[in-house]
């Protein structure tokens, strides 16, 4: 018996409201002895910590650095080792591309091919309008083949989502993208022995060839690269599992896609922190559960910009009182994964976790940092156990057994 | 490989003695800033904590509030997600009703039926003597049908245990009890499609009808309600798993039933703390392992009586020296689950856990409270890992591997 089965059996609906604020990539490493969180002036988070119970979460497994997909799935209570998400699926969902059960999707780039080598994987960061024009051109010419229907959905700059619909498609395909410049573009290769993977590889490769033929006179964007082939996993919704009416406030496509996959209603919100908090305030009466995603900390961490990450923490801290003032029954502040500026990437370090609720036993943690949360009463726990705690403190889990 | 398999492989017998003192519902939440444990004067528990190693346990799953059954199973080292216990089984075992492998049991109430509605689920909390009279009356008239043998065992006030013996009985039955007054009594319905469940439902419902016919002239107790249909799960004994000769000192039926299920010998003990400690002292030479159950803390918590719970903690603290003076090789003090007076119910909050043994590395915890135990060296761990620790400190687990 796992958490999902327990959740189906024990969850009940009531009038409580839960907010899960995810400060993406929050955890860090010291620069002159202090982490980003330890350096930031964040009086509101610290004040909240005084009356909260804290801990540290491991997103997937101690030592394992998660992508945003598994890290978020774990936070939403889905075992990330059970549900594997292709990047293509996340991108497609987040780009408002409708994906059906049989569809195969991938992330795509326009790229520059010269003498058999990819010399620029991003085709000079092609203008978005150009990407739109080229996608339309390809869509018109390459609509259908042998009963399979193809579609490119333009994204920002050189990016697009590739989708093919039809029977018997497999996502067990290697990347049709060299990942680095100055290499030959590799064909998609079937991973494993299945006939479906072989057929899908051949279908995808002939599409790439046909698109490249169509683009042969383009000066910069004269080929396409595809990676992250994936199909829609079958994930029970938060409504099915937890009897929650859940909403997501997130401006970045991938996080919106993740939320949609978990059955959340994705609210419209601009990229500014003001937009996000205003969207939460506007919709607070309409849902039980709110996943609120704040991206700036992760972006700064990925850039190795320690000071910018400190400022991003200080920015979300200034908005915190507006979230607290909504008076949710349960408010959790945490992250999906750490992104230390020192490493310029996601990392395996555990996430600070703070839970505020009437039934929370406040611990000694009065400063919301990685090291202080390590002293919290929740201890160190898998992020997969965050949802059970949120539901429990919201009075949404029945007693197990007699 | 799970703990049970490990235990069978590694456990050895020796001359050591282990006491597991379960202070039921011990953990709490703050009233004026302090929990019940933080408020109580308990010099003996605190003194013991100085030389002990402490931690916090999660009974079943973080966030999941356990019933007494699963919470105790976990403490005894049985995975509560694997062994599901019906309330009827616990009640039957604790009421000294012998239950065989094929028997179906349930908890029963005498109730008052008026114009098709249950107007009092407890028949005015019928006197125990009346319950005894009515059970005898029904037992005499409804002894056997189609090879099935029925029996009602009277309990306290309006309560009894229902038992039917025969082949092919199923416990996949819904409650034949409306759970609230002013509703129609529902028939037991089969849960799932099996023929055994359908047959058992029909058998049970015709029995309820026949009993109601027999009671038609009773002024108050004119029907019966049955709930918690269950059969005996097959649980290996503590002797099989741990090579322990185990005894239980518990006065409440359900805890006695739980201990019996785990293969413990249940010692006679009155309800007073003096009775419990005296029973432990009397039998200390005869067993290896003692499960000692103290109920008053849980009862006070369930009543929302913060002060009474504080006094209950102080009472067991006064008896602690007599337990310590028995000089067990391992003494653990903990709880099955928390029962904060603030919530008036079981809760999901973790349990304070203290382990005293020569081989325990004392930590910094010098006051036995929820928050102090959170700083203990054992950290936060599943209650299922308590037995391995007790056995290890008693020298009763061999080395794993070479």
Question: CA A73: distance to chain centroid?
Answer: 8
Q: Residue B165: phi, psi to the nearest 5?
A: -115, 140
Average pLDDT (A16-42) is 98
In chain A, residues with a C-beta closer than 8 Å to the C-beta of B63 are 385, 387-393, 397
For chain B, give percent helix, strand, coil, nearest 5.
35, 25, 45
> Shortest CA distance to A162 belongs to which of A146, A137, A186, A139?
A139
pLDDT of residue B127: 95
pLDDT of residue A367: 98
Tens-digit pLDDT profile for residues A345-359: 999 999 999 999 999
Give percent of chain B above pLDDT 70.
100
DSSP assignments along A93-120, one per residue: HHTT----TT-EEEEEEEEEEETTEEEE
Tokens representing residue A168 in the block: 């018997």
What gap in Å lies between CA A382 and CA A368, rounded to an integer? 19
Could you tell me which residues of chain B have a Cβ less than 8 Å from any Cβ in chain A? Answer: 29-30, 35, 56, 60-70, 80-82, 84-87, 90, 228, 340, 342-343, 345-349, 370-371, 374-375, 379-380
For B223, the 3-state DSSP assignment is: strand
Query: If you measure CA to CA, which chain A residue comes closest to B31?
Result: A361
pLDDT of residue B199: 96
pLDDT of residue A301: 97
Q: Which of A361, A375, A385 sits opposite B63 (nearest CB)?
A: A385
Q: What is the ipTM of this complex?
A: 0.87
* Cβ–Cβ pairs < 8 A, chains A and B: 92
Pairwise CB contact (< 8 Å): A401 & B69: yes
pLDDT of residue B331: 98
Categorize the per-residue pLDDT at B171 as very low, low, confident or very high, splitting at 50, 70 and 90. Answer: very high
Average pLDDT (A370-380) is 97
Burial class of residue A128 (count of CB atoms within 10 Å of its CB; 0-12, 13-18, 19+) = middle
In chain B, residues with a C-beta closer than 8 Å to the C-beta of A398 are 65
Categorize the per-residue pLDDT at B109 as very low, low, confident or very high, splitting at 50, 70 and 90. Answer: very high
pLDDT of residue B326: 98
CA angle B60-B62-B64, nearest 5°? 60
pLDDT of residue A299: 95
DSSP-assigned letter for residue A229 = E
pLDDT of residue B176: 96
**Domain residue ranges of chain B, discontinuous segments joined by +:** 3-85+234-393, 90-230
Query: If you measure CA to CA, which chain B residue comes closest to A358?
Result: B29
Helices (H), B16-162: 36-39, 43-50, 68-75, 87-94, 128-141
Distance (Å) from the alpha carbon of A377 to chain B's nearest alpha carbon: 5
Could you tell me which residues of chain A have a Cβ less than 8 Å from any Cβ in chain B? Answer: 1, 3, 6, 10, 359, 361-364, 375-381, 385, 387-393, 397-402
> Shortest CA distance to B76 belongs to which of B389, B299, B367, B316?
B389
Categorize the per-residue pLDDT at A279 as very low, low, confident or very high, splitting at 50, 70 and 90. Answer: very high
pLDDT of residue B309: 98
What gap in Å lies between CA B309 and CA B306, rounded to an integer? 5
- Written out in words, the top-level CATH class of the domain with range A3-85+236-393 is alpha beta
What gap in Å lies between CA A178 and CA A187, rounded to an integer? 9
What gap in Å lies between CA B51 and CA B356, rounded to an integer? 7
pLDDT of residue B293: 97
Categorize the per-residue pLDDT at B158 as very low, low, confident or very high, splitting at 50, 70 and 90. Answer: very high
In the block, tokens 């008076």 appear at A327
Categorize the per-residue pLDDT at B183 as very low, low, confident or very high, splitting at 50, 70 and 90. Answer: very high
Other CB atoms within a 10 A radius of the CB of residue A89 amount to: 30
Categorize the per-residue pLDDT at B278 as very low, low, confident or very high, splitting at 50, 70 and 90. Answer: very high
How do beta strands B148-154 and B159-165 pair? antiparallel
How do beta strands B289-294 and B246-249 pair? parallel
What is the fold, at CATH topology level, of the domain defined by A90-230?
A: Alpha-Beta Plaits (3.30.70)
Whole-prediction pTM value?
0.88
Categorize the per-residue pLDDT at A13 as very low, low, confident or very high, splitting at 50, 70 and 90. Answer: very high
> Shortest CA distance to A21 belongs to which of A232, A375, A328, A287?
A328
Best mutation site among B2, B37, B61, B179 for testing chain A: the one with the most A CBs within 10 Å? Answer: B61
Give percent of chain A above pLDDT 70.
100
In the block, tokens 């013991």 appear at B48
Tens-digit pLDDT profile for residues B209-244: 999 999 999 999 999 999 999 998 889 999 999 999
pLDDT of residue B253: 82
Q: Mean pLDDT score of chain A, rounded to an integer? A: 95
Q: A357 and A47 in contact (C-beta within 8 Å)?
A: no
Tens-digit pLDDT profile for residues A83-111: 988 888 888 877 878 888 899 999 999 99
Distance (Å) from the alpha carbon of A402 to chain B's nearest alpha carbon: 4
In chain A, residues with a C-beta closer than 8 Å to the C-beta of B370 are 361, 377
Categorize the per-residue pLDDT at A186 as very low, low, confident or very high, splitting at 50, 70 and 90. Answer: very high
In the block, tokens 């800033």 appear at B33
Distance (Å) from the alpha carbon of A267 to chain B's nearest alpha carbon: 28
Q: Is B188 left (phi over 0), alpha (psi -120 to 50) or beta?
A: beta
Q: Mean pLDDT score of chain B, rounded to an integer? A: 95
In chain B, residues with a C-beta closer than 8 Å to the C-beta of A393 are 63
In chain A, residues with a C-beta closer than 8 Å to the C-beta of B29 are 359, 361
What is the fold, at CATH topology level, of the domain defined by B3-85+234-393?
A: Alkaline Phosphatase, subunit A (3.40.720)
Pairwise CB contact (< 8 Å): A397 & B65: yes
Average pLDDT (B149-158) is 95
Q: A226 and A87 in contact (C-beta within 8 Å)?
A: no
Q: A35 and A27 in contact (C-beta within 8 Å)?
A: yes
The CA distances from residue B311 to A223, B47, B268, in Å, are 78, 18, 25
Tens-digit pLDDT profile for residues A113-128: 999 999 999 999 999 9
Pairwise CB contact (< 8 Å): B370 & A392: no
Q: Across-strand partners of A108?
A: A160, A226
Question: Taking the CA atoms of chain B, what radius of gyration do you get in angstroms?
Answer: 22
Q: A18 and A329 in contact (C-beta within 8 Å)?
A: yes
Categorize the per-residue pLDDT at A249 as very low, low, confident or very high, splitting at 50, 70 and 90. Answer: very high
Q: Which of B67, B342, B345 sits opposite A401 (nearest CB)?
A: B67
pLDDT of residue B88: 87
pLDDT of residue B75: 98
Distance (Å) from the alpha carbon of A364 to chain B's nearest alpha carbon: 8
Categorize the per-residue pLDDT at B266 as very low, low, confident or very high, splitting at 50, 70 and 90. Answer: very high
Tens-digit pLDDT profile for residues A155-171: 989 999 999 999 999 99
Average pLDDT (A200-221) is 97
Q: Is the dihedral of CA B76, B80, B82, B87 positive or negative?
A: positive
Pairwise CB contact (< 8 Å): A375 & B375: yes
A72-82 burial, b at 16+ Cβ within 10 Å, e below that, comes to bbbbbbbebee
């Amino acid at each position: 018996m796992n958490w999902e089965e327990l959740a189906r059996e024990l969850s009940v609906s009531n009038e409580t409201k839960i907010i899960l604020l995810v400060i993406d990539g929050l955890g860090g490493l010291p620069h002159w002895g202090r982490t980003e969180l330890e350096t930031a002036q964040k009086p509101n988070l610290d004040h909240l910590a005084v009356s909260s119970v804290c801990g540290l979460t491991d997103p997937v497994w101690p030592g394992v650095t998660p992508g945003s997909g598994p890290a978020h799935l774990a936070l939403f209570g889905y075992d990330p080792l059970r549900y594997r998400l292709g990047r293509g699926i996340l991108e497609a969902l987040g780009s408002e591309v409708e994906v059906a059960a049989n569809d195969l999707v991938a992330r795509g780039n326009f790229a520059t091919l010269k003498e058999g080598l990819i010399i620029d994987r991003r085709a000079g960061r092609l203008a978005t309008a150009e990407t739109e024009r080229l996608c339309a051109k390809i869509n018109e010419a390459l609509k259908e083949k042998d009963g399979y229907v193809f579609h490119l959905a333009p994204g920002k700059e050189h990016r697009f989502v590739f989708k093919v619909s039809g029977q018997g498609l497999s996502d067990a395909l290697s990347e049709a993208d060299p990942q680095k410049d100055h290499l030959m573009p590799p064909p998609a290769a079937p991973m494993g022995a299945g006939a479906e993977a072989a057929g899908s590889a051949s279908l995808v490769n002939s599409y790439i060839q046909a698109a490249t033929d169509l683009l042969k006179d383009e000066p910069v964007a004269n080929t396409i690269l595809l990676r992250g082939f994936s199909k829609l996993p079958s994930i029970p919704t938060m409504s099915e599992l937890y009897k929650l009416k859940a909403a997501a406030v997130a401006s970045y496509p991938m996080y919106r896609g993740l939320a949609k996959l978990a059955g959340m209603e994705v609210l419209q919100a601009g990229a500014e922190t003001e937009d996000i908090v205003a969207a939460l305030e506007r919709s607070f009466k309409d849902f039980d559960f709110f996943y609120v995603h704040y991206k700036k900390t992760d972006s700064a961490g990925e850039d190795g910009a320690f000071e910018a990450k400190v400022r991003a923490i200080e920015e979300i801290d200034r908005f915190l009182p507006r979230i607290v003032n909504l008076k949710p029954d349960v408010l959790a502040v945490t992250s999906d994964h750490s992104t230390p500026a020192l490493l310029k990437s996601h990392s395996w370090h555990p996430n600070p976790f703070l839970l505020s609720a009437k039934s929370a036993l406040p611990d000694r943690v009065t400063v919301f940092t990685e090291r202080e949360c390590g002293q919290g009463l929740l201890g160190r726990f898998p992020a997969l156990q965050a949802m059970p705690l949120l539901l429990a403190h919201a009075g949404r889990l029945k007693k197990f057994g007699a």
